Amino acid sequence: MSNKLFNMFMLASSYPTNKFYVLDMKNVPPEEINSYLKNGLRNFKANSKSQELCIRTAVSGKQEINLPLFKGLDAADDEIIIEKMKEALRIISRRFNGYSNAFIIIQEWIPESDYLFSINLLPQKGKFLIESTKGNHALLKRGKASVFLFSQKGIQIIKQQLRPDEAVILKRLIMKLVGKYVFVPNTVYELSFTKRGAVFYDIKTPLPTLQTKEEFYNELRKRGINFKNRILMYDSF
């Protein structure tokens, strides 16, 4: 698999993220799938008050491109959520000859109306290179980004897409962010500012591609990242 799932654990150990719960499908007999998924959903909802959630998937040894993803699901509709998880497993089983290498990820989903700004942040020596856009992080991939260098000396604008008043608000949010968290140089952080605060999505850092679940678990242990055997959970409160 790509390192997206591992990065979720990396971020959640140090930064605010959407809460998530990960179900390892290895050694889950077909007759126990329904109860296994229900138990995972129940445990997730016991620690989340989100009104919407998404179902993500990962497969060891495979990239996450074109894997099943179901967004904006009503968190109160257990029947639909369970069915979407089963649908994801059916798709994965057909494509990869079974589901034992799969992970099912239950994660909080942020409504579109809750986004303020989204950024890619690259710490450098004494400064930050930042791509930014108003709204959802996906907009950064559609050529709508402002680009600037941020340091204690001020902001050097490279490309401006925001209004002056929006730029002022974003600058305050970034100043608060870099004053609160430690960022590793030459590592790209993907995050959004929402009505509930900053939410981190991904981190681009050098790491060998994790081909097997054993490598995935060993790397988590090596870095002291919290997880449980078989059912993985990270509470990012």
- 99 and 118 housed in the same domain: no
In a domain, 96, yes or no: yes
In a domain, 12, yes or no: no
What is the domain count for the chain? 2
Domain range holding 56? 19-109+207-234
- 168 and 221 housed in the same domain: no
- 43 and 83 housed in the same domain: yes
**CA distance linking residue 30 with residue 22, whole number of Å:** 18
- 213 and 105 housed in the same domain: yes
- 103 and 138 housed in the same domain: no
- 59 and 129 housed in the same domain: no
What are the residues whose beta carbons fall under 8 Å from the beta carbon of 104, sequence distance 6 or more?
22, 23, 25, 37, 40, 55, 56, 57, 85, 88, 89
**Distance in angstroms between the alpha carbons of the first and the last residue of the chain:** 27
Given a contact cutoff of 8 angstroms between Cβ atoms, the answer to whether 16 and 197 are in contact is yes
Task: Give the pTM.
Answer: 0.89
- 119 and 195 housed in the same domain: yes
In a domain, 11, yes or no: no
Whether the pLDDT of residue 172 is over 80: the answer is yes
For 91-114, write each residue's pLDDT tens digit: 999 999 999 999 999 999 999 999
- 89 and 200 housed in the same domain: no
For 134-157, write each residue's pLDDT tens digit: 999 888 877 778 999 988 787 888
For 13-56, write each residue's pLDDT tens digit: 899 999 999 999 999 999 999 999 999 999 999 888 899 999 99
In a domain, 8, yes or no: no
- 136 and 179 housed in the same domain: yes
Given a contact cutoff of 8 angstroms between Cβ atoms, the answer to whether 104 and 5 are in contact is no
Identify which of 193, 190, 216 has the alpha carbon closest to the alpha carbon of residue 205. Answer: 190
- 80 and 25 housed in the same domain: yes
**Backbone φ/ψ region at 193: left (φ over 0), alpha (ψ -120 to 50), beta:** beta
Task: Tell me which DSSP letter residue 17 carries.
Answer: B
- 72 and 125 housed in the same domain: no
- 96 and 124 housed in the same domain: no
